[in-house]
Homo-oligomer: A and B are copies of this chain.
Amino acid sequence: MADLDRVLATVDADLDASIERLFAFLRIPSISTDRAYAAECRRAGQWLADDLASLGFATKLNDTPGHPIVTAASNGGAERRVMFYGHYDVQPVDPLDLWESPPFEPRIVENAEGVKRIVARGSADDKGQVMTFVEACRAFVKATGKLPVEVTVMVEGEEESGSANIGPFVAAHKDELKADLALVCDTGMWDAQTPSIILSLRGLMHDEIVVHAADRDLHSGYYGGAAANPLHVLSKAIAAVHDANGHVAIPGFYDGVVEPPDYMKAAWSKLDLTPENFLGPVGLSLPSGEKDRLLIELISSRPTFEVNGMWGGYIGEGSKTVIPSIATAKISCRLVANQDPVRVRDAVRAFIRAQIPADCSVEFLGGEGSPAVAVTHDNPDLAKAAKALGDEWGTPPVTVGEGGSIPVVGQFKKVLGQDTLLVGFSLDDDRIHSPNEKYDLTSFHKGIRSWVRILAALAQ
């Protein structure tokens, strides 16, 4: 492992130069959602393409209907290839007056505990994280003359504004983007000491349920007690979705849901994710979901059914004695690996339909869905990456699912056929999307070192 030590030493020696490069990248105000910054987005993409070209990558700034997508590929003859995804665009900076220093003038600030932080818009989300990977590649090239695995880079400029063009781009560039594994650096650490590998992202199915009762609004004095009230009907249907133990009672809802392996559940049960520290900050204390599951399961590896909006009848000031004709709920289900969004949608609809009285009707407006994505639990690259991270941080990574959804990662699996490991180094207090966004210098430095170790491990 002399090679690895040399590369890590190079990372340490070159840290100041790495910071300077990141600062140059951060100074470009690449706000993707504001068309006034379109030229700055292109400039950021070009800056990254030029930097990758300096490492010997074949680079391209690919035009799209929106902002360009940077692609770069090494070609050193290594056996395996990884594809790295990130984004160079950033969130808007409003409210500007809450920033303690200008958002596009990066600086290093030391806090009261002596922790050094890079403060700038994009420092954590996602320029700083993208550069951990780029700097790791640079250190390999500088120290050894080559990369341990071939690397394809794809960095988009519209992640903060809807990612409209990345899906079609992936589909149109399958051969170019094909690799053994995808890597994403846009997630966080478990905590400041503990790294994390995100193994799955939940999918999403959303639908709109409209219950129709009488063909007009009715006076509750005349019809009250006799005519079906669609708000009662809908409430009863929603109430029936979860049983007393928090399970979703919809037949077929859990079809295909896989139990995580025992070793993973054992590791999860040792996490200090408690209702106090997870729900306390938002004013709650009792996990609302399945009573026989760990909190970490509820928010990552288990599917959910949530009502996101509901309305019907009179919702203005004062009172109105009406029995409405219609009641509506917008619902969404977070899906986990092997759940088919269409089957879940159909199961939900059949269940709701069965709750509706014979003289009422229900229609569904929606039903779009995207499946969850998950790394195969026995993918050997997972164990390699986990060991590499453990070596760097002195503690093995938490390997969990994340509750949210990043649709492009689904594309990597579906279109390119490759698993994705999501490894990132941001912290909960990085204030991404908010004023005074920061990225700890440790995140950046040890992030680079982590990628060095992971790339070396993936070559084995």
Q: Give the interface of A toward B (CB within 8 A).
A: 202, 204, 206, 208, 213-216, 218-229, 231-232, 234-236, 238-242, 278-279, 282-290, 295, 298-299, 302-304, 306-315, 319-324, 327-330, 332, 334, 357-360, 366, 368, 402-405
Contacts and interface: CB of A to CB of B under 8 A. Distances in A.
A404 B405 CA distance: 51
A319 B405 CA distance: 14
A220 B306 contact: yes
A221 B334 contact: yes
B321 A308 contact: yes
B310 A330 contact: no
A299 B226 CA distance: 6
A224 B310 contact: no
Given A218-B282, A299-B224, A327 B310 contact: yes
Contacts of A202: 221
A368 B319 CA distance: 10
B225 A302 contact: yes
A147 B328 CA distance: 59
A211 to B, nearest CB: 12
Contacts of A405: 221
B286 A223 contact: no
A373 B226 CA distance: 21
Contacts of A283: 214-216, 359
A290 to B, nearest CB: 8
A412 B314 CA distance: 31
Given A311-B315, A314-B330, A315-B330, 9 more contacts: A220-B304, A220-B308, A225-B303, A226-B279, A226-B288, A228-B288, A232-B239, A236-B239, A313-B330
A119 B193 CA distance: 86
Nearest to A355: B239
Given A221-B403, A232-B238, A279-B359, A319 B314 contact: no
